[in-house]
Structure 1
């Protein structure tokens, strides 16, 4: 597939987003749920039991094919400049979403699907589910959510779409070879960033009429996603009233500004849905859920990254500075953290360090308000920003050496943090510990084979060691994960021609090249079948 071109104007991006939203809701809403008996889980309250839709094994899209479709779409999304490639925000969303999924037995659905939550740089208040368990969350949604319970209400709703396999069930009504045309359909909307009217033209054609027919089923699918989302929220310990509060605020925004918020456009909200949710809330004991500091820190990073490089950047600084005056300590910490991150992005390392130190000092009040367990004290996100500052271009060698020591300590304290693992490798490379870096990264790529950033770091370490063949072999694996098979084969050819390539490496290169060319041939045959 060709890489996406970028839009030349914000209106073009808006039209592309609207086109994609229409396509996604047509997929997630294209099925009428059938009545089925409640599931039986040992020691699980009825409010935490997910509905089943009966035996549809013969109708469902194959989970393997569904995942393949989702991965195909994700490769295109990751190439787009509006994919928010921020390790700290991505890690927060995956920890947050993963905890919601794990809160209820059966929330992963019939296929025990792996979920991936990813941020998108877009001011629209929206979220969307893709085939295979991929859930996108707009930066605008993260900023609009006033509490973590409100964010949980939307994310749980999207989990409901995935767990009930709305996409697979809609496609299962057709022949399974409808998968590839649908993939082309959705990817056409992504490619339409260069020419947004092309996507609208598709919608006006025969396929557009099919989409409209599928939209007729949206009410049932959305109501079911509400029900599942409510159960997940409740089991996860969140304030379930956050769901109605957030929906009502979106409706109010619609009345005040006269423009339907993106989430309501792609997830039509009816009075029946609100009444249904309110009835469920009355049956659930009230539970107050304090927000984690990570929620506020993620919002601060999202605010900076959403407006970076735009005329709104000055407004970002003003917003963060006004937030300093709030009485809530978490808000103050987040504002200082955000100002530090903004200063870092602007290249002012002294200001970045000053604001960071203020945020850390505010985080440690005498009364010990934030003396919680490491998993909820924001320590990992603080460590990420601290290392980002210390590893920024222009820092002296003594600061880089300190970054290496700090990174090692942080990975020991937070061993599951992927962001810190990458920064630890980066610190070793910058400090000249190349043998240590390559050993560490080789272990990491064995543990996390689907992480292209690890292969990029490994290629960088090999390059500094002068190991050219290994450098190109590592880059080839990074390109494979990005879905760029021709570029991966080119890298293998470069590796084969390197002066330092060994006989063993030649054998590995030959075997890998045969595998990738077979995959290329398979993809070309699939393209012809479309």
Structure 2
């Protein structure tokens, strides 16, 4: 399913009306701090969609999102977004709620300006929004707003007001939002079928949800040390766009209605705030350069990116210049001009090393190391790639992307046993990471270890909430000629656990119908 929006403005507007509330996440019960000025959720609402059910619903949606070709599966970018989001959550841990969910922040390749939140703490950003944000505080203001939707459990509250077939309209809206990008007609049918006469009630609720998300987002933005004027400036520019373009207003405004009352409320909160200057991180500039290249794979798109970087080089801002040079290196890599990419990357790294403020990024972000390793792998310098990845893991022990690259480098260097040993340790440390299990399965395949290969793949499917596929992999593992007694015991235990879990899921599904 290709992520593309409908071409007709009327279809976009109509679809936006039907799908607006699907982007109002609700994974956690609000704490007393966040909810001090908000209505308290009653037990009825909490029964309609529990935090556990919200997370499960969000994970099911994310399965479709991650399979989409326009999902930006780019580790350095994901790490930046998640670092920024977790920094905001650290100042207000109560936003995670009683379930203490691990939020996931991600990006999708789409030039349309939009952001959204799914149940369970999954928050996505269109590449167009990341590039439109003129400061890190602006990007953080959108992030805070979406966290506010999650913290206030807006889907659970919406369901509490409906009481009837609660999950059906939500599923329809989510499917419509995804279908809209490939088939406007199909999206309309899904949305209309799921919504019916409840549309107006949901729209009315969505306006209140927006005000609540503004309130919580503003608090998080302030407490995290960002410039709260970022929220005002971002929404202000969107409001101007609404007046100028009417039916072709930015998608963010169509799914997040911006009323005069909301703007007035945000501005009123600004009056009581002492101005606090916030200096954008260098990583923000690097992330935007990376997004500018990642959002396209066409010759014209690459030419547009090069033109933009040329313009950036003429500015007086050091961050912009260095980010443009990094962008050129990354662009050369994507165009498979590896010699040029290496030359440009080496030059920009030397320049960053001599910059007092920017050189910190060499030890705090994987942007440079990841690109260097990618170039080494592309040019078959496998041993060098292994050494670079080992050094990067020492400097950036929390970078999952570097871990994946290290495994790729070991495999490329035919060090399969080293890769398997490393991955076995990693899956013990990070038990909820399906990508590690997938890599382990591939390494076992290269070693000819069929039973272990399919057990690892089963774990990966289970972590992605695809239990039928996981059980199928266990069945293949059981019949593998090299399955040992211990392997059979593991297979039996996991099969019992997953069959029981799948049975419970099917029962829940039947009860909802």
Tell whether the structures are fold-level matches, with TM greater than 0.5: yes
Structure 2: segments with no counterpart, 5+ residues: none
Tell me which residue corresponds to 1:502: 484
Tell me which residue corresponds to 2:267: 278
Equivalent pair of 2:2/2:70 in contact (CA under 8 Å):
no
2:97 is the counterpart of 1:109: yes
In structure 2, the CA distance between the partners of 1:23 and 1:518, relative to structure 1 (3 Å rule), is farther
Q: Which of 318, 323, 332 pairs up with 1:343? A: 332
Alpha-carbon shift at residue 180 of structure 1 (Å): 5.2
2:72 is the counterpart of 1:75: no
2:411 is the counterpart of 1:429: yes
Q: Which of 325, 331, 335 pairs up with 2:314? A: 325
Q: After superposition, what is the alpha-carbon deviation per residue over 1:479-504, rounded to whole angstroms, capped at 9, x for unaligned?
A: 23334434333332332232222122
In structure 2, the CA distance between the partners of 1:84 and 1:379, relative to structure 1 (3 Å rule), is closer
Tell me which residue corresponds to 1:418: 400
CA distance in structure 2 between the partners assigned to 1:526 and 1:184 by the alignment: 18
Alpha-carbon shift at residue 212 of structure 1 (Å): 2.8
Q: After superposition, what is the alpha-carbon deviation per residue over 1:160-191, rounded to whole angstroms, capped at 9, x for unaligned?
A: 11111111211233448623553354235424
2:60 is the counterpart of 1:65: no
Equivalent pair of 2:59/2:465 in contact (CA under 8 Å):
no
CA distance in structure 2 between the partners assigned to 1:284 and 1:504 by the alignment: 63
In structure 2, the CA distance between the partners of 1:19 and 1:443, relative to structure 1 (3 Å rule), is farther
CA-based RMSD of the aligned residues comes to 2.9
- Partner SS, residue 119 of structure 1: strand
CA distance in structure 1 between the partners assigned to 2:477 and 2:463 by the alignment: 18
CA distance in structure 1 between the partners assigned to 2:284 and 2:12 by the alignment: 25
Q: After superposition, what is the alpha-carbon deviation per residue over 1:269-310, rounded to whole angstroms, capped at 9, x for unaligned?
A: 122222221121121111111111111111111111111247
Alpha-carbon shift at residue 320 of structure 1 (Å): 2.0
Equivalent pair of 1:70/1:133 in contact (CA under 8 Å):
yes
Equivalent pair of 1:29/1:214 in contact (CA under 8 Å):
no
CA distance in structure 2 between the partners assigned to 1:78 and 1:180 by the alignment: 22
Tell me which residue corresponds to 1:267: 256
Equivalent pair of 2:15/2:191 in contact (CA under 8 Å):
no
CA distance in structure 2 between the partners assigned to 1:361 and 1:238 by the alignment: 30
Q: What TM-score, normalized by structure 1, do the two folds share?
A: 0.87
| Count of residue correspondences | 506
CA distance in structure 2 between the partners assigned to 1:39 and 1:193 by the alignment: 39
CA distance in structure 2 between the partners assigned to 1:13 and 1:210 by the alignment: 25
2:20 is the counterpart of 1:25: yes
2:438 is the counterpart of 1:452: no
Alpha-carbon shift at residue 321 of structure 1 (Å): 2.5
Tell me which residue corresponds to 1:240: 228
In structure 2, the CA distance between the partners of 1:203 and 1:463, relative to structure 1 (3 Å rule), is closer
Equivalent pair of 1:75/1:482 in contact (CA under 8 Å):
yes
Q: What TM-score, normalized by structure 2, do the two folds share?
A: 0.90
Tell me which residue corresponds to 1:390: 376
Structure 1: segments with no counterpart, 5+ residues: 41-47
CA distance in structure 1 between the partners assigned to 2:313 and 2:188 by the alignment: 44
- Partner SS, residue 286 of structure 1: coil
Tell me which residue corresponds to 1:53: 39
Q: After superposition, what is the alpha-carbon deviation per residue over 1:86-123, rounded to whole angstroms, capped at 9, x for unaligned?
A: 11111111110111111125222354333111111111
- Partner SS, residue 118 of structure 1: strand
- Partner SS, residue 89 of structure 1: helix
Pairing 1:66-465 to 2, within 5 Å after superposition: 66-175=54-163, 178-179=166-167, 182-191=170-179, 193-205=181-193, 207-258=195-246, 259-309=248-298, 311-365=300-354, 368-372=356-360, 378-392=364-378, 395-396=379-380, 399-465=381-447
Alpha-carbon shift at residue 39 of structure 1 (Å): 4.8
CA distance in structure 2 between the partners assigned to 1:425 and 1:16 by the alignment: 46
Tell me which residue corresponds to 2:467: 485
Tell me which residue corresponds to 1:44: none
In structure 2, the CA distance between the partners of 1:408 and 1:516, relative to structure 1 (3 Å rule), is same
CA distance in structure 1 between the partners assigned to 2:486 and 2:163 by the alignment: 46
CA distance in structure 2 between the partners assigned to 1:110 and 1:19 by the alignment: 36
Alpha-carbon shift at residue 251 of structure 1 (Å): 2.3
Equivalent pair of 2:173/2:194 in contact (CA under 8 Å):
no
Higher helix share: 2
Pairing 1:460-471 to 2, within 5 Å after superposition: 460-471=442-453
CA distance in structure 2 between the partners assigned to 1:107 and 1:137 by the alignment: 19
In structure 2, the CA distance between the partners of 1:435 and 1:18, relative to structure 1 (3 Å rule), is farther
In structure 2, the CA distance between the partners of 1:178 and 1:255, relative to structure 1 (3 Å rule), is closer
CA distance in structure 1 between the partners assigned to 2:164 and 2:105 by the alignment: 26
